Structure 1
Amino acid sequence: MGADRGRLGRGRAVRVPVVLGTAALLLAGCASIPDSGDVEPVKASPRGGESQVRVYAVPPRAKAAPDEIVDGFLEAMTSDDPDFAMARKYLTDQRSKAWRPEAGTTVLRDAPAAAAPKQPGGTDPSGMTFQLYGDQIADVDGTHQYEQVAPVSYTGTIHLVQQNVGSEGKEWRIDDLPQGLVLGESDFQRNYRSVNKYYFASGESWLVADPVYIRQRIDPTTRMDPVTQAVKALLDGPTNWLKPVVDSPFPTGTALQKGTRTLEFDDRNGLKVPLNGKAAEAGHDQCRKMAAQLLFTLRDLTSTPVGRVELLANGSSLCVLDGDQAEEFAPDHSAGRADTPYFVDREGRLSLLTSGGDGSPEQSRVRGPFGDGTVKLDSVAVARDERRAAAVTNGSKSLYVAPVTSAGELGQPLVTSQGVAAKDRLSAPSWDGHGDLWVADRDPAKPRLLRLADGAGTPEEVTVDGLGGARVEALRVSADGVRIALLLSKDGRTTLQIGRVERHGSGADTEVSVVELQATAPQMDTVTAVSWAGPSRLVVVGKEAGGVQQVRYIQTDGSTSAGSVLPGLNQVTAIAAADDEQQPLIADSGDAGIVRLPTGANWQTVVPTGSSPIYPG
C-alpha cells in the first residue's frame, strides 16, 4: 500500500495496515477481516518491499465522497487484483474500458499525494479535478524497461464526474486519469522484481543481459506467473536501448502457445516451453541458442540452477538443452575459468592473490616485465584470458602491454599522454570481451577515449555522443563488450553513465562509437570508483550530497534493491568485482590497504600496502 498515504481531504485518517497469518492487507473502505492468524501492526509498505505481503483491493463504498474515490483508486493500483477489477470500479464505464494499466509505471519516491480539489462550478462545472503530485524517480515503459531519473516533480490529474451506479443513483467516479500505474517506490518494490533477459551480442556467440521488471506474483493483466512473464518478455524482444547491439535467434513472430499462463518445473528442475508454430522454422543449432537464452533468463527466477529446457512447437519437441551445455554461451564467455584477483604491490609490481591451503590469501608476482620491476606501475588491467596485461606507468604518462605468463621485453609504449599532471594523463585501462583494450587520455588540451584492437597497434579514437563538455575520468567495459561504464567529470562533479558500444564494419575497418549515455546513479553527487559485478550489475563507490561515502550495488538501469548498500568502508579509491558474482569484492581502502569482502562476512585486510585491485577485464 502507499506508504504514508492516509485519507484525502479534510479529516483524512491515517490507516495502519496489519500483517495477518496469510500476510494479506486490505485496502480502502470497509471489508471483513479474517478471524484467524496473528495480528501485529507494521509500517505501510516497508521500504525495500516484502514479496510475502499480499494486498487485496476493495470496491468503493456507497455514496463515497470524491476524496474517498481518489484515495481508494490510488490504493487499488497497488494490488494484485486480476485485471485491476476493483480499481476499475472507481472508474466510469467508458474510462474503465480505455484505461491500460500495462502501458507503463511511473515510480515516485513516496506514494502519490493529491491536491485539494476544485469545487463544482467555475472552470470545472461538470465535476471535480484532483491534482496528483510527488517526486518521480523512475519510469517503466510498456516493454518493462526501467529508467531511473534524477528526482523531478511529477504532476498528473484525476477528474471525477457523477454517474448512475445501479440502484444507488448518482455516484462519483473517475472519468479521466493518467494511463498506466502511478506507484510509490515501496509499492513498486513490493510488486515488481528485476529479471535479466538474455540476447546474443551481435555477430557473437555469447549472451548479453537485458534487465527488465516483471510482477513478483501473478500479473494482474495477463494472469501469467513470474516464469511465464519472463519467457514472454524474452520473446517480445530486447529493450529499445539494447536492441541495436544484440540479436535474438527466435524466428520472427515466435510467441508462447496461445493460452499459456503457467510454466512449471519438473522434479529435476527441467522446463518444457510450448511455443507457437513460428518456432518450428528454427534449425537445431538455432534452437539450442534459443534454449540458452531461456536457461539464462530463468536462472534469476529459481533458487536452484535450471536443469534443462525443452522447446516445443505445436506440441512437438524442437530441441533440449541442459544447463551445463548452455555454459558455452555464458555472458562472460570464460568457459568455467575462475577469475583471479590482482593488485599492484608497494614496489609497483603486478601481483596476484591466491588462496593458501588453509584458505588464507597468498600473493605472488606475475612473470614478465610487469612483475620483475622493469617498470613501476600506476594502474593495470589484466586481459580476460589472463595471458597479457596493460599497465599505465611513468606518472600515468605511458601505456604498455606485456605478457604476464612468461618472460618478455617491455617494448615501446602504445599510448603516451601529453598531459602536464598525472591526473590529466591516462586513466586505468580496461579490456572488453572482444580482447580490445580501452583507455582514456585526460589531457585537457586533447581529451580522448581510445581503443586498441586486440590490445595492439595504433590506438583509435572512439567518439562518445552526449558528453556535453564532460571529461572521461575512468572507464570499465563489460565482459560482453556492448556496454561501457564511464565516470564523467564536469563542474566539480563526477557522475556515472552507461553507454552503448556500437561496432560497424569488420576487421581493420571496424568503426566503434559510444552512444546513448544513461545516468546510472543520479542520486549520487560524486562517484569515486566503479566495477562491473556480473552481467547487469555494477558496484559503485560514491556519496550523495552532504552524505558519507558508500559502497553499493546498482543495476545498469539505475535501479537498486534491498541490501544493495554494503558494509561501511572508508577512503575507498578503487574497487573490483569478478564476473562470477560469488567471488569476493576487493578494494583499496586507504590505511587498511587491499581488502576483500567474502560472502556473508565483513571486510578483511589481505595486503596491508598496495593499490589498483582488479579482476581480469
Structure 2
Amino acid sequence: MTRTRRRRRLGVVLAVVAATVLAGSGCSVIQVTGPYTVNDNQGGGDPLNKPFQRMIAIAPQPGWGPEDTIRGLQAAMAAYADDPSVLAGYLTPEARAKWTAAGPVTVIQDAYEVAVPPPRESETTVKVSLKGHYVALINEDDSYKPTAGPWERPFELVKMPEGYRVSNLPQGLLLTESDVARAYRPTNLYYVNRSTQDRLVVDRVRLRLKTTETFAQTVLERLLQPPTEALRGAVTSSFPAGTKIESIRSGEDRVIISLSGPLSSLDLTATTTLTGQIRNSLSTNEIAKGRTIEIVVDGETYTTDRPDSDDRWLDDDVGDSAYYVSKGAVHYLTKEGRGGAVAGAAGEQRDGYDHFAVSAGPNPLIAARTSTGISVAGIAPEGVWQEVIRGDDLTPPTWNRDGSLWTYDGKNGVLLKYDPSRNRVEPVEVPEELDKLDVNQFRIARDGVRVAVTTGEETVQIGALTGEGAGTKLGNLQFLTTTDTGNEIRDIAWRDDEHLLVLVEGTAGQTLNEINVGDGETTGVPLKDRLQSVAAFKDQVLAEVATDNGNKLMVLNQDQQTWTAKIDSDAGTPLFPLG
C-alpha cells in the first residue's frame, strides 16, 4: 500500500466533533471529516462549561491491514470514555475478556510509527510494534506526570474472516498529546493545610471533560474525593464523608450549588472553609468567576458567597518585604533600590554568616548558617544572634509559615525542626531513601505543606509535610526534574505555592526554569548575566549577579523576559519571607 493511499484511508478511521456540554440536555454535535478546532473562549454563554472536541472512532473495517487496525485501535482508545463499545470490536474475544482500561493513561507524542513486518503468505498471526516517545502518565488519581524518552509497545494481531483483531492488548489506555489536549483540562483543586488549618493548598490534576455533565460538576465531584498522592496526609477537606452534589445551576449573576449530606451551618469555620474550597476550585479554573455562589443543602440555603467577599484562604499574609545582604549584613530593599540595614545584630557586618532566611509575620526573625550551626536573630535593636541548631553539615535554613525553622543534617541523616516558642529542636521522620542521598537544599513552600529537596547536584524532588503536631513527617517524595550529568543545580526558590524556580549551571551556561510542581509544566526564563542566587515572591523575582565591582542585584521585569539592575554594587543574596 502506498503512503498516499494509507493517509487517505486513515482519514476515515476517526472523526472529531465539537461538543459543548449543555446542562441537562446532553451535547450539541457538529460532525466533520477531520480535526475541528474549537476556541476555548467559545463557551456558548454557559459559565459552568468548557467547550471541547469529542472523538468519535469507527469500528475496524474488513479491508484494513495491521497498521490501519492499530491506528484505529488507538483512536478507539481516545474515544473510550465516551463510547467503550468501539474498542471492544478491535479485540478478539479472549483479549476482550482480559483487557481493562484501569491503570495509568500513557500519553505519547502525536507522531508515532507502527512497525509491520513484511507479509507472508498464509500467515494468520502478525506481531507489530508501535513506536513513539513518552510525554506523560495520567495516574488514576488524575495527577499528570511528565516523562521522556523512547516508547515502544508490541501488539499481536490475528487475521479473522471479518479482518484483523488484536489478540493481546496491554492494560490501560494509550493516548496521544492531541487526544489529551482535546479531552482533558489542567485543573486546580483546593484542599486545606492539615497542620495550620489557615491556608488552602493547590492540587493540580488533569480532568477529562464529559458529555454527560458540566465541567463545574466534574470539578466539584473530583473535589469531594481525596487529593492526589502528592498531598495525601498533608491536607484535609471541609466536606464531610457522605456529601453529594445534587445539582449545579447558573442564573444571570450567580451559581447555585445544591448539596446533600451531613453539613452543619452551625460550624462557621467549616462553612467558610468549604466555601473557600468551592470558590477557588471553580474560579481559578475560569468557571463561575466573578459570580455569586449560593450553596443549598437539602433544599435550604447553607451559605452565600459574593465575589467581593474577603477570601483569606489564598492570601500570602507572610508579607512581601524584600531584603538583600551587603558585606554580611541584612538590608531592607526599597522601591528605589538600596535600603538601610535591619535593626539588631542581623544588620551588622560580620564574617562567617551566610545563607540567610527570613520568617513571616509582623516581627520576623532572621536565620543564618555558620560553620557550627544555624543561628537566629530578631529584627529589633535588642536582637542578637543565638545558635539554635548545632551541626557542621546542615542545609541552608528554611522557615515554615507556622514559625518553625528547618534544616537537614546531612552528617547524621536527620531532618531538624526548631520551635522558637519553646526554644526546642526536634527530629522529623523522613523517607528511608533520603538517608542514602546527598541532600543539599531543603525549602518549604509558603503554603506550609510542599517541600522542595535537591539531592546530589542534579536532582530536585518534591515532597510534603504530612501529619500534624508531633506526628509531622516528610513524605510523598517524587522527582520533579533532573539535569544532565555534569550540570549543577545552583539554587532553587519558591515563587508561589505552585511554581519553583530552578537555577542550573552547566558547561554551556546557565538556565533558569519555572516549574509547575503539580504537573511539571516548565517555562524558561531568559538570562543575560550569570546568576549567583535567586529569590521570588509571586510577580517579584530577584537575582544576585557577580561583577568586578562586587555583586549587584537584578530584578526580572514584568515581561518575564528582561532584567534590570536594582542595585549596581555591594548587594548580595536577595531574600523574601519564607520560600
TM-score of Structure 1 vs Structure 2, range by shorter chain? 0.7 to 0.9
2:393 corresponds to 1:401: no
Contact kept, 8 Å, 2:330 with 2:341, in 1: the verdict is yes
2:457 corresponds to 1:481: no
What's 1:200 paired with? 192
What's 1:42 paired with? none
Gaps of 5+ in 2: 20-30, 38-49
1:398 deviates by 4.1
In 2 relative to 1, CA 264–500 (structure 1 residues): closer, same or farther, beyond 3 Å? Answer: same
2:561 corresponds to 1:586: no
Give 1:192-591 correspondences, 5 Å limit.
192-203=184-195, 204-215=197-208, 218-219=209-210, 223-257=212-246, 266-268=251-253, 270-275=254-259, 277-278=260-261, 280=263, 283-285=266-268, 286-302=270-286, 305-323=289-307, 325=309, 327-330=311-314, 334=317, 338-345=319-326, 347-355=327-335, 360-373=336-349, 377-392=353-368, 394=370, 396-404=371-379, 406-418=380-392, 425-442=393-410, 445-446=411-412, 448-454=414-420, 457-465=423-431, 466-467=433-434, 469-489=436-456, 493-503=457-467, 506=469, 510-522=470-482, 525=485, 526-542=488-504, 548-560=509-521, 564-578=523-537, 581=538, 583-591=539-547
- Larger mean CA deviation between 109-118 and 382-391 belongs to 109-118
1:517 deviates by 1.7
1:383 deviates by 0.8
Match of 2:143 among 120, 126, 145: 145
Contact kept, 8 Å, 1:452 with 1:460, in 2: the verdict is yes
**Counterparts of 1:550 and 1:121 in 2: how far apart (Å)?**
56
Contact kept, 8 Å, 2:449 with 2:465, in 1: the verdict is yes
Q: TM-score, normalised by structure 1?
A: 0.75
* Cα offsets for 1:302-330 (capped at 9, x unmatched): 18954443222344322223345462333
What's 1:65 paired with? 65
**Counterparts of 2:338 and 2:422 in 1: how far apart (Å)?**
32
What's 1:421 paired with? none
2:559 corresponds to 1:597: no
Q: Which amino acid aligns with 2:455?
A: L
- Larger mean CA deviation between 140-149 and 244-253 belongs to 140-149
Q: TM-score, normalised by structure 2?
A: 0.80
1:534 aligned counterpart, secondary structure: coil
Give 1:75-90 correspondences, 5 Å limit.
75-78=75-78, 82-83=82-83, 90=90
Kindly indicate which of the two structures has a greater share of residues assigned to strand. Answer: 2
Gaps of 5+ in 1: 1-6, 26-30, 38-50, 164-168, 419-424
Q: Which amino acid aligns with 1:515?
A: G
Q: Which amino acid aligns with 2:451?
A: I
Contact kept, 8 Å, 1:388 with 1:401, in 2: the verdict is no
Contact kept, 8 Å, 1:310 with 1:320, in 2: the verdict is yes
1:469 deviates by 2.0
Contact kept, 8 Å, 1:231 with 1:294, in 2: the verdict is yes
**Counterparts of 1:533 and 1:572 in 2: how far apart (Å)?**
17
Contact kept, 8 Å, 2:492 with 2:502, in 1: the verdict is yes
1:10 deviates by 11
**Counterparts of 2:120 and 2:304 in 1: how far apart (Å)?**
65
Contact kept, 8 Å, 1:105 with 1:140, in 2: the verdict is yes
Q: Which amino acid aligns with 1:459?
A: V
In 2 relative to 1, CA 65–524 (structure 1 residues): closer, same or farther, beyond 3 Å? Answer: same
1:431 deviates by 0.8
1:225 deviates by 3.8
Contact kept, 8 Å, 2:338 with 2:567, in 1: the verdict is no
Contact kept, 8 Å, 2:319 with 2:577, in 1: the verdict is no
* Cα offsets for 1:371-392 (capped at 9, x unmatched): 2436674221111115223332
What's 2:40 paired with? none
1:265 deviates by 5.3
**Counterparts of 2:304 and 2:99 in 1: how far apart (Å)?**
41
Contact kept, 8 Å, 1:111 with 1:185, in 2: the verdict is no
**Counterparts of 1:462 and 1:288 in 2: how far apart (Å)?**
32
Q: Which amino acid aligns with 1:256?
A: I
Q: Which amino acid aligns with 1:348?
A: G
1:485 deviates by 0.7
1:467 aligned counterpart, secondary structure: helix
1:339 deviates by 1.2
**Counterparts of 2:89 and 2:460 in 1: how far apart (Å)?**
44
Contact kept, 8 Å, 2:332 with 2:340, in 1: the verdict is yes
1:542 aligned counterpart, secondary structure: strand
In 2 relative to 1, CA 354–183 (structure 1 residues): closer, same or farther, beyond 3 Å? Answer: farther
Contact kept, 8 Å, 1:284 with 1:319, in 2: the verdict is no
In 2 relative to 1, CA 611–498 (structure 1 residues): closer, same or farther, beyond 3 Å? Answer: same
**Counterparts of 2:483 and 2:107 in 1: how far apart (Å)?**
15
In 2 relative to 1, CA 237–415 (structure 1 residues): closer, same or farther, beyond 3 Å? Answer: closer
RMSD over aligned Cα, in angstroms? 4.0
Aligned length: 540
**Counterparts of 1:279 and 1:569 in 2: how far apart (Å)?**
57
1:586 aligned counterpart, secondary structure: strand
Contact kept, 8 Å, 1:271 with 1:308, in 2: the verdict is yes
